[in-house]
């Protein structure tokens, strides 16, 4: 049975990202609950301009409970889906059990419905929490296989630092004009999430292939395993060109999205992760081929 809303001592606020104190309170909430610091996002262009936060604030200005919705169009089986995403869902321990999270979730979903979004997606490690709202888990798959043979030598890639003003401007420009990395499952716009994810994981490398006008988000481990996380480009370069530009010859390749545009075929493997992608809407639609969203689109 749904808990009755007990908001005594709290004030509800919506659309508060324009208030520096409100934004700072959300940054503290996510740092305290999840150990995630989204503060650097302000230096990377700010939060997604389509974001709509829903939060309960205490008398001291701290966020007791929050969830945020934002536009997140994505491609599913070749079709562009007018969708929203939910993120930053959290409740401080002293305020749990009072129906606050259910309240902000319902408010956010009602807002999504009024905006005309045909689907809503989110990531969670508690899928049962969202099933009562019509969400269902989507199976996710990465692709692994041998590295392709080297291609014609290419101009070497250069590293990009999103905290550098010129590099940030280049990234923002390419993110605006990017194409989906896959026809099966891929976001079409995710600038804020891509940029903050470069700061949250120190192992992520971001490189620019100038001759391809492509940004590559990647990792390589000590065993020589190359992981391709994302490609930001108007025209996707083949995997051979990516490896040639990065000047690496990996032992194996792991692509964290369906590689149907890379000119390379790997073997799909079920993604082993405690976090699930949940989808609300679109009937029982799922990817026609094993696929996953790029980790750079996680939120």
Q: What tokens appear for 173 in the block?
A: 């420009």
What's the pLDDT score for residue 248?
Answer: 92
According to DSSP H, which parts of the chain are helical?
20-34, 100-115, 165-176, 191-200, 239-246
Question: Which tokens in the block code for residue 16?
Answer: 């508060």
User: Does residue 274 have a pLDDT over 90?
Assistant: no
For residue 248, count other CB atoms closer than 10 A to its CB.
14
Cα(61)–Cα(265) distance, rounded to whole angstroms? 52
Task: Please choose, from the candidates 297, 286, 299, 294, the residue with its C-alpha nearest in 3D space to the C-alpha of residue 119.
Answer: 286
Under DSSP, is residue 192 helix (H, G, I), strand (E, B) or coil?
helix
Tokens coding 216: 């590559």
DSSP code at position 177: T
Tell me, rounded to whole angstroms, the distance of Cα 232 from its chain centroid. 14
pLDDT band at 3 (very low <50, low <70, confident <90, very high): low
Q: How far apart are CA 163 and CA 175, in angstroms?
A: 16
Residue 1 reports pLDDT greater than 50: no
For residue 2, pLDDT over 60 is answered with no
Contacts with 16 (C-beta within 8 Å, 6 or more apart), sequence order: 22, 23, 53, 55
pLDDT band at 4 (very low <50, low <70, confident <90, very high): confident
- CA nearest 171: which of 187, 188, 184, 190? 190
- Whether 78 has a pLDDT exceeding 70, the answer reads yes
What crossing angle do the helices spanning 191-200 and 165-176 adopt, rounded to 10°?
140
Mean pLDDT along residues 247-263: 96
**pTM (2 d.p.):** 0.93
């Amino acid at each position: 049975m749904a808990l009755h809303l007990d908001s005594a001592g709290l004030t509800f606020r919506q659309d508060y990202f324009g208030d520096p104190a409100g934004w700072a309170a959300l940054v503290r909430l996510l740092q305290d609950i999840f150990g995630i610091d989204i503060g650097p996002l302000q230096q990377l262009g700010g939060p997604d301009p389509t974001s709509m936060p829903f939060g309960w604030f205490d008398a001291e200005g701290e966020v007791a409970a929050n969830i945020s919705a934002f536009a997140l169009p994505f491609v599913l089986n070749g079709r562009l889906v007018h969708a929203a995403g939910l993120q930053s869902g959290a409740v401080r321990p002293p305020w749990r059990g009072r129906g606050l999270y259910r309240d902000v979730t319902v408010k956010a979903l009602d807002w999504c419905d009024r905006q005309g979004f045909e689907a809503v997606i989110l990531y969670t490690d508690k899928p049962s929490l969202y099933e009562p709202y019509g969400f269902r888990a989507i199976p996710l798959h990465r692709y692994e296989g041998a590295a392709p043979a080297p291609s014609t030598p290419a101009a070497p890639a250069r590293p990009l630092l999103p905290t550098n003003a010129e590099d940030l401007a280049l990234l923002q420009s390419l993110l605006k004009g990017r194409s989906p990395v896959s026809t099966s499952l891929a976001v079409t716009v995710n600038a804020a999430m891509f940029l903050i994810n470069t700061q949250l994981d120190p192992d992520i490398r971001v490189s620019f292939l100038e001759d391809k006008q492509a940004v590559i988000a990647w990792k390589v481990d000590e065993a020589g395993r190359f992981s391709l996380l994302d490609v930001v480009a108007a025209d996707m370069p083949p995997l051979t060109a990516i490896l040639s530009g990065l000047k690496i010859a990996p032992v194996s390749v792991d692509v964290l999205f369906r590689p149907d545009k890379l000119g390379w075929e790997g073997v799909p493997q079920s993604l082993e992760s405690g976090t699930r992608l949940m989808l609300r809407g679109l009937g029982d639609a799922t990817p026609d081929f094993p696929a996953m969203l790029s980790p750079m689109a996680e939120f």
